[in-house]
Chains A and B, each alone.
Chain A
Amino acid sequence: MTAESAESESAEPVGGTEPAEAAESAERAEHSKSAESAERAEPTEPASPSKVVHGPRRPGIPALEARGLVKHFPMHSGIGRGQVVHAVEDISMVLPAGTVTAVVGESGSGKSTLARLLTGLIKPTGGQVLLDGEPVGTGARARRKYTSSVHLVLQDPFSSLNSVHTVRYHLERPLKLHTKLGRAERAERMRQLLERVSLTPAQDYLDKYPHELSGGQRQRVAIARGLAVGPRVLLADEPVSMLDVSIRLGVLNLLDDLRSGENLATMYVTHDIASARYLADCIVVMYAGQVVESGPATQITDNPAHPYTQLLLSAAPDPARAETPVLRGRGAPPSLVNPPAGCRFHPRCPFAMKVCAVRSPEPRPVGEDHVSACWLHASELDDDQREPLSATATGPAIGTATAATVAAQAESADGATDAN
């Protein structure tokens, strides 16, 4: 039902603003109807997860695997009551041991929701999570085993540590909960942990309170806590975005060392594509709850295939760039209550074609281990489907069409003024 209402809402404003194209928009609506029946089952049906699995390719069983993860948050109050927020849609990815996978996207792209789904802190609407190839159970025992293997490092070290407890408390608690170590062994283990995150001598830090530490030191304590019970998967949700420039690199290098030293499978969630390139083996680009592109890190940044990745790269600060950057697309991400029909990026996409507004593109291989979900890579389209959207509706009209579909807060003026 939701998909249907999104369909009609997004199709109408285009026709409304361009009366001359009314016939075409009717035709498009028909297209969408026929395409819809085929698609309706796809996004919400966990039984048929998409065939493409994102993440680094390594032989053997990955440490953590997500199969067709879907998360829809129901809205309990306010204007959208009874509707759902489509936060994560059908994502399959693997996190093999000894690799770093970066998940990149704007705020609201669902990247943090994905990380929380993988920790088990929130329950997926559909799909499943597999640890070492085994589905994660729901009982208390299975849950405890899972939490000792998968750990989360949060963005803000100022609020993720409890300010009334010392570093010792933060590190000792997971050891007490998950291990049978004695007091002396715990003390030894804590010392090792602090040394591993370069907080030496450990004695100086054990009895400090979070407010006595700098931001970088706090984030190191948070990482040490994450490593306390020897997890095999570390989920780092924007671990450096709150830190000062000179400290960021230290934390990134620490994650790099843990990859090789501890053979950790790391997921690094970030909005900074340059740091993702620096650290990660594989970059997964998310937009509006879906993966739009994934592949080896340098390949993604050097040869981005999806227009959204190109937009992110064109917006990223780059001092080595000689010419003035040309922003490839504008505006803000769509509301995830009524996401745009077809490709969710099409209202912002400078290359949008007719087919993009109607049918959602499947991920296709565009290189070695490199997939991109974009109709531009499809060869089976006919000329009518390839017709650019911007030819039927010029710049400002696209802007207003977008504005109609996104929530009230969206930056409605962008498209209109930028075209002036």
Chain B
Amino acid sequence: MADPVLEVRGLCVDYGLGAEAVRAVTDADLVLRRGEVLGIAGESGSGKSTLAYALTRLLRAPGVITGGDVVFHSRSAETGEVTEVDLLAADGHQLRRYRWSEIAVVFQSAMHALNPVARVENQLTDVLRVHRPEMSAEQRRARAVEMLRMVGINADRLRSYPHELSGGMRQRVMIAMALILQPQIVIMDEPTTALDVVTQREILEELMALRDKLGFAVIFITHDLSLLIELADSIAIMYAGRIVERARAAELFHAPRHPYSLGLLSSFPSLHGERVRMEGIPGSPPSLAAMPDGCKFHPRCPYAMDRCRTQEPPLTRLTDDGGVGGEGGDRVTACWLHDGRQDPPEPLGRAFPLLASPPAPRPGDLSRSTS
């Protein structure tokens, strides 16, 4: 397994101060490995974007980081030497060194992230002017052309303004801009949500090809779990500010362990097999200001037990409980169903790899047959 490039431990983020504060992210633990795609999925308001902005220190007031560590293992491109940087303790000067040159971000709305009155060329070379002051104007321009070509845009687009580009091209310019300094980590916040499916697929294909070539790691934030399963190496599911399950993508799809993961999976209609009525997840996520006691998911959980209403389950490693495959080693979930006192219900206890041959059945426990 590759070395970690970013480690997040016990990260907590509040919105507001004092008595008015609400906790948006609670005890987030994540490990991003070199060259890996880590997906973060959840409903809106689950804290996934807040988490990403907190670990890049881009969070704006009233967001406050109230605890935890974010350690960036920076590897020098020349010497290969790894230095540990505590991003939460870093001062402005240090942050300036790592932001964009080592950790870049692709935002959701490229139309809003790009400057509407500056040409693409200026926006791309601006990054170089700040972070690579030793480069000459020609070098900067040559680099900008190289990056655009890499994401599949002709050099003549350098003279364009953002409004002259299609949505897909704007998002490609954003990706070029994020990669221009060859960062070690790229954080993508719903980068393709506003695009058509075909354009989305093209951009993701290009991104994965670039990842193979340049070796950066990606944190990919989206609500589209079906896309994430195809794309990501490992996935963290967030609910109400907490990570409730972390697993390899295939494991999560074929053998989810948390009822919320199962519910999310059964919210996406399948393109194959029998058409069955799916119920998704009943209810809606709790407000941050009025969190339920115990497990935050229990009011919507079809398997809730008495214990779930009072005690919050910790994020625990699944290794030796019967029925649950121990081969993952890396799998964690926060659910009392897996504490070993009872057998988890069938849909949450499936073994992985599956004994049945693919195509695997959709997680369909919440469904009943229809027309």
Contacts and interface: CB of A to CB of B under 8 A. Distances in A.
The yes or no verdict on A and B being binding partners is: yes
A417 B149 contact: yes
A301 B271 CA distance: 7
A273 B226 CA distance: 13
A329 B199 CA distance: 11
Contacts of B44: 244
Interface SS of B by simple majority: loop
A222 B278 CA distance: 23
A82 interface: no
Nearest to B154: A413
B129 interface: no
B258 to A, nearest CB: 14
Given A332-B166, A416-B154, A312 B275 contact: no
Nearest to B198: A315
Contact of B272 (A252, A271, A320, A330): A320
A317 B198 CA distance: 10
B278 A249 contact: yes
Nearest to A412: B154
A278 B269 contact: yes
B223 interface: yes
B271 A313 contact: yes
A413 B169 CA distance: 10
A316 interface: yes
A321 interface: yes
A287 to B, nearest CB: 11
Contact of A245 (B205, B229, B268): B268
Contacts of B95: none
Interface string A246-280: 11111011001000100000000001111101110
A312 B200 CA distance: 11
Interface residues of A, number: 54
Given A325-B201, A412-B154, A245 B271 contact: no
Contacts of B212: none
B181 interface: no
A321 B360 CA distance: 10
Given A278-B269, A278-B278, A409-B165, A414 B149 contact: no
Given A244-B43, A411-B168, A319 B226 contact: yes
Interface string B344-363: 00000000000000111010
Nearest to B268: A274
Contacts of B225: 245, 319
Contact of A246 (B149, B200, B284): B284
Given A246-B284, A325-B230, A413-B152, 14 more contacts: A244-B44, A273-B271, A274-B271, A315-B197, A319-B253, A320-B362, A322-B359, A327-B205, A409-B164, A409-B166, A410-B166, A411-B152, A411-B168, A418-B152
Q: Which 10 A-B pairs have the closest CB atoms?
A: A278-B269, A249-B280, A319-B229, A317-B227, A315-B201, A417-B152, A413-B154, A246-B281, A317-B226, A315-B197
Interface of B: 43-44, 149, 152-154, 157, 164-166, 168-169, 196-202, 205, 223-227, 229-230, 253, 263-265, 267-272, 275, 277-281, 284-285, 358-360, 362, 370-371
